Amino acid sequence: MPPAPLENSPGASASDTIFALSSGAPPAGVAVVRVSGPMAGAAIDRLTGGRPRPAARRASLRILTDPASGTTLDRALLLWLPGPGTATGEDMAELHLHGGRAVTAAVLAALGRLPGLRPAVAGEFTRRAFETGRIDLNEAEALGDLLAAETEAQRRNAMLLAGGALSRALEGWQHRVLSLAARLEAQLDFSDEEDVAPLDPGFASELAALDAEVARWRGRLPVERLRDGVRVVLAGPPNAGKSTLLNALAGREAAIVTPIAGTTRDLIEAPVALGGVPFLLTDTAGLHAGTGDAVEAIGIDRAAQAIAAADIVLWLGDPGSAPAGAVRVGAQADRRTLDPAAHDLLVSAQSGAGMDELVTLLLDCAATLLPGEGEAALSARQRAALDRLGEALALAQGEGDPILVAEGLRLARAAIDALTGRAGTEDMLDGLFGRFCIGK
Ligand SMILES: Nc1nc2c(ncn2[C@@H]2O[C@H](COP(=O)(O)OP(=O)(O)O)[C@@H](O)[C@H]2O)c(=O)[nH]1
Ligand SMILES: [Mg+2]
What is residue 370's predicted lDDT score, i.e. its pLDDT?
A: 77
245-292 confidence digits (pLDDT tens): 999 999 988 887 878 877 777 888 998 888 767 889 999 888 877 767
Q: Which residue, among 376, 388, 406, 30, has the nearest Cα to 207 in the 3D structure?
A: 406
**pLDDT above 70: residue 195:** no
Mean pLDDT across the chain: 87
How many angstroms is it from 347 CA to the middle of ligand 1? Answer: 12
Query: Do 136 and 416 touch, CB atoms closer than 8 A?
Result: no
Residue closest by Cα to atom 8 of ligand 1: 241
Please name which ligand lies nearest the alpha carbon of 236.
1
First to last CA, the chain: 10
Q: Which ligand is nearest to the CA of 285?
A: 2
- What digits encode the pLDDT tens for the residues 354-408? 999 999 999 999 888 777 777 888 888 899 999 999 999 999 998 778 888 989 9
Bond before 84 cis per omega within 30 degrees:
yes
CA 376 vs. chain centroid, Å, equals 9
Whether the per-residue pLDDT at 193 is higher than 70: the answer is: no
Burial class (CB in 10 A: 0-12, 13-18, 19+), 350: middle
Q: Which atom of ligand 1 is nearest to the CA of 316?
A: 20
Where would I find the beta strands (DSSP E) of 183-266? 230-235
**pLDDT over 90, % of the chain:** 57
Question: Can you list the domains of the chain with their CATH numbers?
Answer: 17-130 (3.30.1360.120), 169-219+378-436 (1.20.120.430), 228-367 (3.40.50.300)
pLDDT at 12 over 60: no
Ligand 1 atom at minimum distance from 348 CA:
27
Nearest to 439 by CA among 64, 13, 18, 14: 18
